[in-house]
């Protein structure tokens, strides 16, 4: 086994990043529904999408395929967060003013040239994620920049657009979407491609994310920001990777793509050294259903059980050994092809480099070789099985994929996986198919309006952090942490309304403590904003000890309690009264008299430990400490006085 780590330092990487950030608007972009996840779906309906006919007679291949499938799409609508607009049963309302202002403010912050008049466009999306069959999008500004450390990164374009419906399931026949998210305002920022390391891209993305958050007009939390990246390495072509939700994954995904693309380039080099003419690819395609029907392979017989199932074999001139060749672990043409074929809803795909195998024996392999009239010393073949119409689509694209293999990296759209890799998701779409949204009039951008918004442009990150340090007495690291966290707005709310608690304490509980608990595998989603406010309110009123915060978080995250009240009672941390406190400390002092007399004031450490063990969560540690100290001093004084008198 080769090691997974590949030296990437010599590979010249270019990355264009595109971020999609949900805005914290009170209503959706083109209707008055609240952008919240209601979770409950009460109504459902079915639709089928058809591409509108274009003048050209050709469509995007992905559109053609989606249409070929004529898949039924089922939408779920909730009682409260979607209306006729999301169901495409009513024309869009006017553009949400807050969202539009936000887009303009961010455009100003990114030093961009704002369009004089805004036009809403329809961008064709036929996978069902938009009930209308298109996504509404408005170009707001172009040609801006963002300074990150010493580097000036160009901003290509800033668009305001509607978010898509959320995919619930897809069984190949019916695709299900929920309408809650459809129409939520998104700002799309496309940065100009930069040549850099994966780590530098993360820094750039982080700076951009902070700038957006500094506007206090964007949604926070998982799923509210999504990154797409266009990754290319020298000698290859641009591959679009969609749907990276966490910045931590960005480095992994880019590294994986670098290795994958470099691997594909190496395969291309190897093929070029052979005399292979892609012109002949697809020259020999044979229906081999008869041969495969005799096979004892489970995979094969499962495919053949389906409706109108066939198997086809394609000869690939001069590719022997190349489909299974792995320049880097896990990177081989065979895998790329089986991923691609899955797009067409097929799983039965084999190639000659891995056969005999999978229950397909040598006799069958020889029969295929014979039928394809191929030179088994030089050529390879691919077998694909499934319903006839799908196989026909897949055969065309497999041949096309082999032609692309000669060049190295095919331009395509891939999806980021949870483990930081990428998988094929669809052919690269052609130029966006856009036409005007005639239901919405154009919007002139007034210079006076822009001047008014200038005051709301977020300050640079440095200034924001410094002001947090000054205002709240936080250290720089904590200020950055709380600013980046999804609790920042909540933090400011708590700090301003609960004056008795130190901001540093609140910030560290909301960042480090919660993060630590999460690292232990606990589920933070149980801690709602309301719960957090409840906890700090109790502390502010003096009915809960500061030490209890983490304990309560833990109980809730372990789902051992459902409310703060319940957590407190489970933990048994009712606040001790002053009298109880006195008694408890007196009791501990009495029990430890020998140590006290022996060590004098030096015994305070041990005593404090014992007090805390008994009183943790029932009283504030500082309070315990000061009472203990006073009582100890008193005790020691009287003891000294006593000893003196004895002499």
- Shorter beta-carbon distance to Zn ion: residue 93 or 342: 93
Give buried/exposed letters for 420-452 (b at 16+ CB in 10 A, else e). Answer: bbbebbbbbbeeebeeebeebeeeebeeeeeee
Length in residues, the chain: 647
Instruction: Read off the DSSP letter of residue 511.
Output: I
Would you count residue 425 as binding other proteins (CB under 8 A)?
Answer: no
Would you count residue 145 as binding other proteins (CB under 8 A)?
Answer: no
Would you count residue 451 as binding other proteins (CB under 8 A)?
Answer: no
- Shorter beta-carbon distance to Zn ion: residue 183 or 427: 183
Q: Are 230 and 244 in contact (CB under 8 A)?
A: no
* Calpha distance 230→484 (Å, rounded): 25
Candidates 382, 403, 380; CA nearest to 391 is: 382
Binding range to other proteins, per CB under 8 A, among 11-19, 119-127, 237-245, 367-375: 119-127
| Cis before 236 (ω within 30) | no
Of 42, 54, 467, 577, the one binding other proteins by CB under 8 A: 54
Binding range to other proteins, per CB under 8 A, among 62-70, 462-470, 497-505, 589-597: 62-70
Backbone angles phi, psi at 346, to 5 degrees: -115, 145
- Shorter beta-carbon distance to other proteins: residue 122 or 217: 122
Give me the residue label for tokens 């004892």. 296
- Shorter beta-carbon distance to other proteins: residue 57 or 594: 57
Q: Residue 425: which of Zn ion, other proteins, none does it interact with, CB under 5 to 8 A by kind?
A: none
Q: Rg of the chain over CA atoms, in angstroms?
A: 32
Q: Minimal distance in Å, beta carbon 287 to other proteins?
A: 15
Binding range to other proteins, per CB under 8 A, among 275-283, 435-443, 537-545, 596-604: 435-443
In order of 142, 147, 287, the CA distances from 366 in angstroms are 59, 62, 15
Of 11, 88, 192, 406, the one binding other proteins by CB under 8 A: 88
Q: Are 384 and 312 in contact (CB under 8 A)?
A: yes
Q: Minimal distance in Å, beta carbon 443 to other proteins?
A: 9
Would you count residue 19 as binding other proteins (CB under 8 A)?
Answer: no
Would you count residue 115 as binding other proteins (CB under 8 A)?
Answer: yes
In order of 217, 225, 541, 546, 562, the CA distances from 573 in angstroms are 39, 39, 15, 11, 16
Q: Give the footprint of Zn ion on this chain (CB under 5 A).
A: 31, 33, 83, 85-86
Q: Are 102 and 25 in contact (CB under 8 A)?
A: yes
Q: Residue 137: which of Zn ion, other proteins, none does it interact with, CB under 5 to 8 A by kind?
A: other proteins
Backbone angles phi, psi at 642, to 5 degrees: -65, -50
Q: Residue 68: which of Zn ion, other proteins, none does it interact with, CB under 5 to 8 A by kind?
A: other proteins
Q: Are 244 and 205 in contact (CB under 8 A)?
A: no
Q: Residue 326: which of Zn ion, other proteins, none does it interact with, CB under 5 to 8 A by kind?
A: none
Would you count residue 132 as binding other proteins (CB under 8 A)?
Answer: yes
Among residue numbers 347 through 406, which ones bind other proteins (CB under 8 A)? 389, 392-393, 396, 400
**Taking the chain, what is the end-to-end CA distance rounded to the nearest angstrom?**
84
Q: Residue 91: which of Zn ion, other proteins, none does it interact with, CB under 5 to 8 A by kind?
A: other proteins
Among residue numbers 512 through 571, which ones bind other proteins (CB under 8 A)? none
Q: Residue 235: which of Zn ion, other proteins, none does it interact with, CB under 5 to 8 A by kind?
A: none
Of 26, 40, 68, 473, the one binding other proteins by CB under 8 A: 68
What's the number of CA atoms in the CB half-sphere (13 Å) around residue 560?
12
What's the number of CA atoms in the CB half-sphere (13 Å) around residue 1?
4
Instruction: Read off the DSSP letter of residue 546.
Output: T
Q: Residue 53: which of Zn ion, other proteins, none does it interact with, CB under 5 to 8 A by kind?
A: other proteins
Q: Residue 299: which of Zn ion, other proteins, none does it interact with, CB under 5 to 8 A by kind?
A: none
* Calpha distance 556→546 (Å, rounded): 17
Burial class (CB in 10 A: 0-12, 13-18, 19+), 578: exposed
- Shorter beta-carbon distance to other proteins: residue 68 or 600: 68
Q: Are 44 and 77 in contact (CB under 8 A)?
A: yes
- Shorter beta-carbon distance to other proteins: residue 106 or 557: 106
Task: Give bridge partners of residue 312 from the DSSP assignment.
Answer: 287, 384
Q: Residue 400: which of other proteins, Zn ion, none does it interact with, CB under 5 to 8 A by kind?
A: other proteins
Would you count residue 624 as binding other proteins (CB under 8 A)?
Answer: no
Q: Containing H/E element for 587?
A: helix 578-591
- Three-state secondary structure call for residue 260: helix
Would you count residue 287 as binding other proteins (CB under 8 A)?
Answer: no
- Shorter beta-carbon distance to other proteins: residue 64 or 423: 64
Candidates 234, 195, 228, 188; CA nearest to 212 is: 188
Binding range to other proteins, per CB under 8 A, among 136-144, 327-335, 527-535, 542-550: 136-144
Binding range to other proteins, per CB under 8 A, among 83-91, 329-337, 454-462, 536-544: 83-91
**Residues binding other proteins: what is the number (CB under 8 A)?**
65
| Token pair for 556 | 């809730």
Q: Residue 83: which of Zn ion, other proteins, none does it interact with, CB under 5 to 8 A by kind?
A: Zn ion
Backbone angles phi, psi at 2, to 5 degrees: -75, 155
Q: Residue 287: which of other proteins, Zn ion, none does it interact with, CB under 5 to 8 A by kind?
A: none
Q: Are 346 and 394 in contact (CB under 8 A)?
A: yes
Q: Residue 59: which of other proteins, Zn ion, none does it interact with, CB under 5 to 8 A by kind?
A: other proteins
Q: Minimal distance in Å, beta carbon 50 to other proteins?
A: 5
Would you count residue 118 as binding other proteins (CB under 8 A)?
Answer: yes
- Three-state secondary structure call for residue 91: coil
**Which residues of this chain interact with other proteins, rule CB under 8 A?**
45-61, 64-65, 67-68, 84, 87-91, 113, 115-119, 121-124, 126, 131-134, 137, 139, 142-143, 157, 159, 389, 392-393, 396, 400, 427, 430-436, 438, 441-442, 444
């Amino acid at each position: 086994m080769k090691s997974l780590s590949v030296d990437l330092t010599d590979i010249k990487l270019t990355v264009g990043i595109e971020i999609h950030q949900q805005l914290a608007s009170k209503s959706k972009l083109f209707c008055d529904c609240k952008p919240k996840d209601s979770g409950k779906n009460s109504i459902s309906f079915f639709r089928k999408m058809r591409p509108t006919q274009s003048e050209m007679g050709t469509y995007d291949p992905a559109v053609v395929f989606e249409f070929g499938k004529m898949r039924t799409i089922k939408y779920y609508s909730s009682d409260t967060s979607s209306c006729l607009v999301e169901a495409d049963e009513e024309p869009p309302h006017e553009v949400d003013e807050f969202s539009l202002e936000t887009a303009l403010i961010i455009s100003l912050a990114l030093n961009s040239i704002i369009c004089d008049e805004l036009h809403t466009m329809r961008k064709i999306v036929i996978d069902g994620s938009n009930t209308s069959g298109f996504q509404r999008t408005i170009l707001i500004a172009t040609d801006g920049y963002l300074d990150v450390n010493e580097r000036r990164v160009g901003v290509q374009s800033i668009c305001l657009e509607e978010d898509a419906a959320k995919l619930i399931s897809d069984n190949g026949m019916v695709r299900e979407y929920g309408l809650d998210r459809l129409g939520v305002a998104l700002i799309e920022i496309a940065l100009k491609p930069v040549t850099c390391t994966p780590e530098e891209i993360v820094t750039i993305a982080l700076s951009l994310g902070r700038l957006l958050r500094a506007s206090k007009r964007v949604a926070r939390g998982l799923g509210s920001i999504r990154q797409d990246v266009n990754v290319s390495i020298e000698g290859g072509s641009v591959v679009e990777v969609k749907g990276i939700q966490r910045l931590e994954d960005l480095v992994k995904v880019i590294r994986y793509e670098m290795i994958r693309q470099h691997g594909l380039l190496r395969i291309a080099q190897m093929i070029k050294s052979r005399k292979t003419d892609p012109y002949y690819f697809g020259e020999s395609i044979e229906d081999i259903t008869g041969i495969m029907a005799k096979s004892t392979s489970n995979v094969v017989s499962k495919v053949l059980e389906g409706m109108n199932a066939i198997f086809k074999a394609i000869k690939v001139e001069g590719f022997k050994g190349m489909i299974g060749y792995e320049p880097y672990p896990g990177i081989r043409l065979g895998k790329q092809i089986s991923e691609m074929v899955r797009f067409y809803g097929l799983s039965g795909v084999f190639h000659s480099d891995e056969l005999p195998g999978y229950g397909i024996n040598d006799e069958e392999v020889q029969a295929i070789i014979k039928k394809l009239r191929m030179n088994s010393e030089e050529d390879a073949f691919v077998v694909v099985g499934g319903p006839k119409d799908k196989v026909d689509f897949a055969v065309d694209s497999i041949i096309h994929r082999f032609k692309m293999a000669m060049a190295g990296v095919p331009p395509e759209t891939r999806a980021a996986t949870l483990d930081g890799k990428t998988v094929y998701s669809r052919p690269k779409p052609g130029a966006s198919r856009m036409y005007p949204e005639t239901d919405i009039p154009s919007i002139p951008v007034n210079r006076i309006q822009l001047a008014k918004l200038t005051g709301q442009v977020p300050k640079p990150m440095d200034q924001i952090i410094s002001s947090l340090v000054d205002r709240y007495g936080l250290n720089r690291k904590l200020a950055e942490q709380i600013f980046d966290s999804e609790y920042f707005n909540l933090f400011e709310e708590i700090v301003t309304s609960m004056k008795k608690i130190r901001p540093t304490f609140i910030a560290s509980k909301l960042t480090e403590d919660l993060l630590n608990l999460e690292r232990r595998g606990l589920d933070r989603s149980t801690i709602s904003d309301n719960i957090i406010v409840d906890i700090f309110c109790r502390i502010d009123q003096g009915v809960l000890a500061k030490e209890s915060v983490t304990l309560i978080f833990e109980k809730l995250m372990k789902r051992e309690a459902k409310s703060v009240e319940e957590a407190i009672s489970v933990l048994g941390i009712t606040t001790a009264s002053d009298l109880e406190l006195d008694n408890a400390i007196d009791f501990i002092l009495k029990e430890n008299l020998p140590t006290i007399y022996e060590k004098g004031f030096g015994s305070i450490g041990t005593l404090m430990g014992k007090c805390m063990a008994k009183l943790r969560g029932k009283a504030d540690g500082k309070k315990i400490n000061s009472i203990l100290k006073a009582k100890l001093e008193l005790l020691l004084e009287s003891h000294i006085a006593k000893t003196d008198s004895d002499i």
